[in-house]
Amino acid sequence: MTPIQQCIIKKKINLKPIWLMRQAGRYLPEFRKIRKSNTNFIKLCLNSNLSSKITLQPIKRFDLDAAIVFSDILMVPYGLGQKVEFKKDFGPKLNNLNLEEISKIEEIHFLKKLLPIYKLIEKVNKNKLISKKDTIGFVGAPWTLLVYMINQCSPKKKLKENFFKDKNLIKKTLLILEKFLKIHIENQVKHGATIIQIFDSWAGLLEDKNLPDYIYGPTLNLVNFVKSLNIPVICFPRGIKNYKEYCKIVKPDVISIDYKINPQQIRKEIDIVVQGGLDPKILLTDKEKLKIEAKKYLEIFKDHPYIFNLGHGVLPETDPQMVDYLIKFVKSYY
Ligand code: CP3
Which neighbouring-strand residues pair with 233?
196
Per-residue pLDDT, averaged over 276-302, amounts to 98
pLDDT for res 217:
97
CA-nearest residue, atom 41 of ligand 1? 25
- Residue 311 beta carbon below 6 angstroms from any ligand 1 atom: no
pLDDT of residue 171: 95
Looking at residue 124, its pLDDT comes to 98
* DSSP, residue by residue, 112-159: HHHHHHHHHHHHHHHSGGGTTSEEEEEEE-HHHHHHHHHHSB--TTS-
Distance 27 CA to ligand 1 centre (A): 12
Portion of the chain with pLDDT greater than 90, in percent:
96
pLDDT bracket for residue 158 (50, 70, 90): confident
Question: Which protein residue has the closest C-alpha to ligand 1 atom 7?
Answer: 72
Q: Is 92 in the pocket of ligand 1 (CB under 6 A)?
A: yes
Whole-number Å distance, alpha carbon 14 to ligand 1 midpoint, is 31
pLDDT in tens, 80-138: 999 999 988 889 999 999 999 999 999 999 999 999 999 999 999 999 999 999 999 99
pLDDT exceeds cutoff 90 at 275:
yes
What is the domain extent for residue 223? 3-332
What distance in Å separates the CA atoms of residue 238 and residue 64, rounded to the nearest whole number? 23
- Atom in ligand 1 nearest the alpha carbon of residue 138: 12
Ligand 1: does its nearest atom lie under 6 Å from the Cβ of 25? yes
- Residue with CA closest to ligand 1 atom 31: 91
Question: Which one, of 145, 139, 133, 88, lies nearest residue 117 by Cα?
Answer: 139
The region, left, alpha or beta by phi > 0 then psi within -120 to 50, assigned to residue 265 is: alpha
Answer for the pair 294, 326: CB distance below 8 angstroms, yes or no: yes
- pLDDT, averaged across the chain: 96
pLDDT at 334: 74
Please report the pLDDT score of residue 156 as a whole number: 82
Lowest-confidence region among 10-19, 140-149, 155-164, 252-261: 155-164
d(CA 37, CA 27): 16
Q: For residues 6-16, give the mean pLDDT.
A: 95
pLDDT at res. 253: 98
48 lines ligand 1 (CB under 6 A): no
* Residue whose CA lies nearest to ligand 1 atom number 40: 72
157 pLDDT above the threshold of 90: no
CATH of the domain at 328: 3.20.20.210
Closest CA to 155 of 238, 75, 235, 220: 238
Q: pLDDT value at position 51?
A: 98
Instruction: Write down the pLDDT at residue 164.
Output: 92
Q: What kind and span of H or E run contains 11?
A: none
Q: Are strands 66-68 and 306-307 parallel, antiparallel or unpaired?
A: unpaired
Q: State the distance from the centre of ligand 1 to the C-alpha of 276, rounded, in angstroms.
A: 17
How far is the centre of ligand 1, averaged over its atoms, from the C-alpha of 201 (Å)? Answer: 11
Q: 276-280 long-range contacts, Cβ below 8 Å, gap at least 24?
A: 276/21, 276/236, 276/307, 276/308, 276/309, 276/310, 276/311, 277/309, 277/310, 277/311, 278/308, 278/309, 278/310, 278/311, 279/310, 279/311, 280/310, 280/311, 280/312, 280/313, 280/314, 280/315, 280/318
C-beta of 68 in contact with ligand 1 (< 6 A): yes
Q: Count of domains in the chain?
A: 1
Does pTM top 0.95 for this prediction?
Answer: yes
Question: Residue 308 has what DSSP assignment?
Answer: B
CA-to-CA distance for 82 and 87, rounded, in angstroms?
A: 16
**Ligand 1 pocket: which of 72, 94, 147, 275 to mutate (most atoms <8 Å of CB)?**
72
**CA atoms of 326 and 298, how far apart (whole Å):** 12
Selected residue with higher pLDDT from 157 and 95: 95
Helix (H) or strand (E) holding 58: helix 48-61
Q: What is the mean pLDDT of residues 219-228?
A: 98
Q: Which of 102, 241, 240 is nearest to 172 (CA)?
A: 102
Q: Residue 134's beta-bridge partner residues?
A: 66
